[in-house]
Copies of this chain bind each other. A is one copy, B any other.
């Protein structure tokens, strides 16, 4: 079996588990407030790669844990990802109307509801991160919450999105582009891997190796994303192709050209795989995911 088939076999049950848990966590629907719970479910349950929960689970499994043991945290990471997409798509931000093949949340529910659905998903994520304390020692849980909060905020995802917007239509330096990529997507990908490791009580050398892995993975994933936007069809991706170029976004292909961007992505992928050298075959899913990050078509 090649890596693709093995990754598929690995992903199928775990993605199903994550989806079932997300459903459960978002199932509560008292009579009030109206609409908001539906908007939250719409934002978070539309099919997606579930990359962040899977990375959290795969990191925990690498260190002898199971998916069940980290599920609240894994799902929290997906909710934070969903929250960021809902806000990024708003008219005042990227003004996107299509996401995962569906109308974006603000198109379907209006802007006010999209802002609040994003906020409420973010809040729900921290509720789940705290709920993790029913399964893990609270001192580890608190470390994870601090890490995830930092990865989401001004020196993480929000900061990356700010620079992404400010750089639209501008000439950007390699340094600015790197900031955007490592913050806008990289920070939460890194936090996902490290969260799984922290919950298993990983020691410093283990955390350092997974830190190096996750940084390289995040970069590889985002360069690949830039490339897909240039080379794939709208239908294939479920969101408008060529939208980065249309928005004048700072991307690797725009700054370095398609070939050099491909080489960058390959290099980052190799770096990610090399960082996993200390680990046995339980880290294989993390290895396949590094390859997938670059070779995927969506």
Interface residues of A (CB under 8 A from B): 28, 30, 32-37, 40, 83, 87, 90, 92-93, 110-113, 115-116, 118-120, 122-127, 129-131, 133, 137-139, 141-143, 145-146, 148-150, 152-163, 165-166, 176, 179, 183
Nearest chain B residue, comparing its CB with the CB of A106: B92
Given A154-B33, A158-B36, A176-B32, also A87-B119 (CB < 8 A): yes
Given A123-B149, A142-B133, A153-B123, also A159-B115 (CB < 8 A): no
* Structural contact, A165 and B129, CB atoms closer than 8 A: no
Cα distance, A122 to B123, chains bound together (Å)? 9
Number of copies: 2
- Classify the secondary structure of A's interface with B: helix
* Structural contact, A149 and B127, CB atoms closer than 8 A: yes
* Structural contact, B115 and A40, CB atoms closer than 8 A: no
Cα distance, A112 to B90, chains bound together (Å)? 9
- Residue in contact with A154 in the complex, picked from B36, B92, B115, B143, CB distance below 8 Å: B36
Name 5 A/B residue pairs within 8 A (Cβ), A-sorted. Answer: A33-B154, A36-B162, A92-B112, A120-B153, A124-B154
> What's the least CB distance linking A31 to chain B, in Å?
9
Q: Collect the chain B residues with CB atoms within 8 Å of residue A36's CB.
A: 154, 158-159, 162
* Structural contact, A34 and B87, CB atoms closer than 8 A: no
Given A111-B92, A113-B162, A146-B130, also A122-B122 (CB < 8 A): yes
Scoring A28, A162, A163 by chain B CB atoms within 10 A of each residue's CB, the highest score goes to: A162
Q: Collect the chain B residues with CB atoms within 8 Å of residue A138's CB.
A: 137-139, 141-142
* Structural contact, A158 and B123, CB atoms closer than 8 A: yes
> What's the least CB distance linking A127 to chain B, in Å?
4
* Structural contact, B120 and A159, CB atoms closer than 8 A: yes
- Residue in contact with A159 in the complex, picked from B32, B148, B155, CB distance below 8 Å: B32
Q: Collect the chain B residues with CB atoms within 8 Å of residue A113's CB.
A: 162
Given A32-B163, A122-B122, A155-B30, also A115-B90 (CB < 8 A): yes
* Structural contact, A149 and B124, CB atoms closer than 8 A: yes
> What's the least CB distance linking A249 to chain B, in Å?
14
Cα distance, A143 to B112, chains bound together (Å)? 30
Cα distance, A142 to B142, chains bound together (Å)? 7
> What's the least CB distance linking A81 to chain B, in Å?
13
Cα distance, A87 to B133, chains bound together (Å)? 30
Q: Collect the chain B residues with CB atoms within 8 Å of residue A143's CB.
A: 130
Q: Collect the chain B residues with CB atoms within 8 Å of residue A37's CB.
A: 154
Cα distance, A36 to B133, chains bound together (Å)? 32
Q: Collect the chain B residues with CB atoms within 8 Å of residue A28's CB.
A: 154-155
